[in-house]
Amino acid sequence: MPLTPIKTPLFVKKMFPNYVWDITTNTKSIYLTFDDGPTPEITNWVLNMLKSYHAKATFFCIGNNIEKHPEIFQNIIADGHSIGNHTHNHIKGWKTKANDYVDNIAKAESLIDSQIQNSELRIQNLFRPPYGQITPKQGKKLLALGYKIIMWDVLSFDWDKNVSEETCFNNVISKATNGSIIVFHDSVKASKNLQYTLPRVLEFFSKKNFLFEALPQKNR
């Protein structure tokens, strides 16, 4: 089992209170998120699966992937999901200078804006750092620019080849609660575990009368 905890400990959330780890809500809601897309091999499958359960989610997209697959990105928008920034090149924050990191995010943001300019959708500046790696200086700069830094409450570990499909599923259903932000990946690397886990998670929580919601968005 990976050393990183499946569920983010409370003390970690308290150490970084300016980051979003979960959502306070009065409804039975869960917030599914998908990192690393859009990807031809899996993103449209995810969209179809979500649609079959009337579920909304948030997609933290890599700018370079949007550039390569704009039609899939438009499918995400058309289905009414929230869009988040996941940098332009999926860079590691701990190995990148703060100004270079912010510039890479800005490059992705510019591309996102260009793709949604004719849409009614205008997202908040939602950002998730690849690998969860972000330095205090990077975080401070992004917060000052108006970004909401979205972390997570539960990791599925769908990307980990050493985690079985059943374990991936159990990671989610055993740890997710009302208001949980859950991390999946619409990537080739994660596709085997995701294709097993996602429909079962949707079914499991639907039977418990949970709603699947996108992270809050508003007009700029």
Question: How does pLDDT run across 30-39, given as a tens digit for each residue?
Answer: 999 999 999 9
Q: At what angle do helices 98-116 and 70-78 cross, to 10 degrees?
A: 70
User: Which residues participate in catalysis according to the annotation?
Assistant: 35, 185
E-strand spans in the chain? 29-35, 58-61, 82-85, 126-127, 148-149, 154-155, 181-185, 211-212
- CA dist 170 → 147, 158, 166 (Å): 32, 11, 6
pTM, to two decimals: 0.95
Is the pLDDT reported for residue 49 higher than 50? yes
β-strand partners of 33 = 58, 183
Chain segment 156-169, per-residue pLDDT in tens: 999 999 999 999 99
Specify the CATH architecture of the domain 10-212: Alpha-Beta Barrel (3.20)
Q: Which residue has the higher pLDDT, 115 or 186?
A: 186
Instruction: Give the Cβ contact number of residue 110 at 10 Å.
Output: 12
* Domain ranges within the chain, ordered by starting residue: 10-212
CA distance 148 to 90: 18
Q: What is the pLDDT of residue 3?
A: 73
- Is residue 220 within 8 Å of residue 122, measured between CB atoms? yes
